[in-house]
A = this chain, B = another copy of it.
Amino acid sequence: MDFSLSPELVNLKEHTRKFVDDVVIPAESRVPKGVENWRELRDELQDAARDAGLFAPQLPKEYGGLGLNWRDCAVIFEEAGRSLLGPQALNCAAPDEGNMHMLEKIASPAQKEKYLRPLAQGEIRSCFSMTEPDGAGADPNNLKTRAELRDGKWVINGRKWFISGAVGASFTICMARTGDGGRGTGSGATMFLVDAENPGFRIVRQVPTLDVGWPGGHAEVEFVNCIVEEDSVLGAVGEGFEYAQVRLGPARLTHCMRWLGAARRAMEYAVKYARERESFGTTLSNHQGVQFMVADSEVEMHAARLMIWHAACLLDNGEKARHETSMAKVFVAETVNRVIDRAVQICGARGIAEDWQVAALYRENRAFRIYDGPSEVHRASIARRVFRRTIDDGRRTTRDA
Contacts and interface: CB of A to CB of B under 8 A. Distances in A.
Interface of A: 1-5, 7, 9-10, 13, 17, 21, 71, 75, 78, 131, 133, 137-139, 142, 161-162, 183, 207-211, 218, 264, 268, 271-272, 274-275, 278-281, 285, 287-292, 294-296, 298-307, 309-310, 313-314, 324, 327, 330-331, 344-345, 348-349, 351-355, 359, 362-363, 366-367, 369-370, 374-376, 378-380, 382-384, 386-387, 391-392, 394-395, 397-401
Interface centre among A5, A303, A375, A398 (most CB of B within 10 A): A303
Contacts of A307: 302-303, 306
Given A290-B376, A306-B310, A351-B370, 20 more contacts: A1-B313, A3-B313, A10-B400, A137-B349, A138-B279, A162-B349, A207-B355, A272-B391, A274-B387, A288-B376, A289-B379, A294-B387, A295-B330, A296-B379, A298-B386, A299-B331, A302-B327, A345-B374, A345-B376, A352-B367
Contact of A400 (B1, B4, B287, B290): B4
B305 A397 contact: yes
A194 to B, nearest CB: 21
Contacts of A394: 17, 78, 264
Interface centre among A208, A310, A331, A348 (most CB of B within 10 A): A348
Contacts of A279: 137-139, 142
B1 A298 contact: no
A2 B398 CA distance: 11
Nearest to A370: B348
A292 B207 contact: no
Nearest to A314: B3
Copies of this chain, tallied across the complex: 4
Among A274, A299, A362, A400, find the residue whose CB has the most chain B CB atoms closer than 10 A.
A299
Contacts of A395: 13
A111 B219 CA distance: 53
Contact of A295 (B268, B275, B379): B379
A172 B397 CA distance: 39
Contacts of A330: 295, 299
A382 B3 contact: no
A3 B280 contact: no
Contact of A139 (B280, B324, B345, B400): B280
Nearest to A389: B271
A142 to B, nearest CB: 7
B382 A298 contact: yes
Contacts of A296: 379
Contacts of A299: 327, 330-331, 382
A302 B382 CA distance: 12
A208 B71 CA distance: 38
Given A1-B4, A302-B307, A138 B376 contact: no
The 8 closest A-B pairs by CB, nearest first: A291-B383, A288-B288, A208-B354, A295-B379, A306-B306, A5-B400, A303-B303, A295-B382
Contacts of A280: 138-139
Given A209-B354, A291-B379, A271 B387 contact: yes
A1 B302 contact: no
